Amino acid sequence: MIRQQLAKIRMSRCEDKDKYIEIVVFLDGDRCICEEDSYGHVKDNYGDGLHMYPVLLTPVPDRGAPVFEIEWGGNDRTFTELDFQLKRPVKEGDNVICEESSDNSQDQVKYDYKIKSIEVLLNALPGGESA
């Protein structure tokens, strides 16, 4: 099954510009999934640095591409659970906050990111095609 790429977002840590997250959203059959590759952050801490999440991706009409809402949530893994939620329309240059919580600790860490780039194929998004 060939996965169709829907969007890619790159975010840089505000306090450390060398650390960033790149999120790639795919349509995999009838599932919409998200891969998150954290360079210099998750990769250093947890090994592989590539994680997969279920995702809800909704185009935002009348805002002009590339602006959209995205929500994705972590799933249980051996070392950690990452929960990212971005429930408002975003565009390049916006500041966003990602929360990280470990499954063996009550500690929750928040990181400030700035969205550096968004590549999105609006006509490939669920609901983005005209009937």
The conformation of residue 92, written as its DSSP 8-state character, comes to T
For the chain, give the number of residues: 131
- Each residue's pLDDT expressed in tens, for the chain with a length of 131 residues: 456 666 677 777 777 767 666 766 666 555 555 566 655 444 333 344 444 554 555 555 554 444 445 554 444 433 333 344 555 566 677 777 665 554 555 556 666 777 777 665 545 444 444 33
Helix (H, G, I), strand (E, B) or coil at 14: coil
- pTM of the predicted structure, to 2 decimals: 0.48
The closest of 129, 128, 127, 126 to 27, measured between CA atoms, is: 126
